[in-house]
Structure 1
Amino acid sequence: MAQLLILSPAADTDALPALGLLGHRVRVIPAEPASLVNAPTSDVVLVDARQDLASAKSLCKILRTTGLGVPLVLVLTEGGLTAVSADWGSTR
């Protein structure tokens, strides 16, 4: 079973409820750089970028700069997809 870590501005709610249907362990923490200090280990990091693209981009860059060694996946709305480029550092 994979360990999924979701970074979401809606950390107090079920950010991506469909992931609960999978057999993986899902942890949700606030999408803030300070939360990354004590973040649990994971096999995949998902960044919830549905509400604030600018903050999500900054967070993705921080994660890649600090040496994130696991896939980084963005969760976007249809309109947000056009704003993403290679410099975000997410998995394509």
Structure 2
Amino acid sequence: MDKKTQELADQFSNLTIKRQMKILALKSANSRLYFREIMQEFEKTLLTAILEKNGYNVCRVSSVVKLHRNTIKKKLQKLNIKEKRKKIEKTQETKRK
């Protein structure tokens, strides 16, 4: 990343979430994407970040976002987000045997 891009990224990260969202919303409004696509991409990005932060533990994520774990599971399927933790656990189990 060049210096100018890094400076812009730093400035953006120093803004409040509300201000960041407003910037992204205005940019999205000028794009050719449909509302549903924009919301789906945002939800996927946010949910993936929360999953990563919580070690892909759906119960923990459910507690953080205040949604039932089954709702989280449905969203993962709908947004085509893979549960990496299960893959890691299965790999470890295979190595143990």
TM-score (norm 1): 0.25
Structure that is richer in helix per residue: 2
Higher alpha-carbon Rg: 2
Structure that is richer in strand per residue: 1
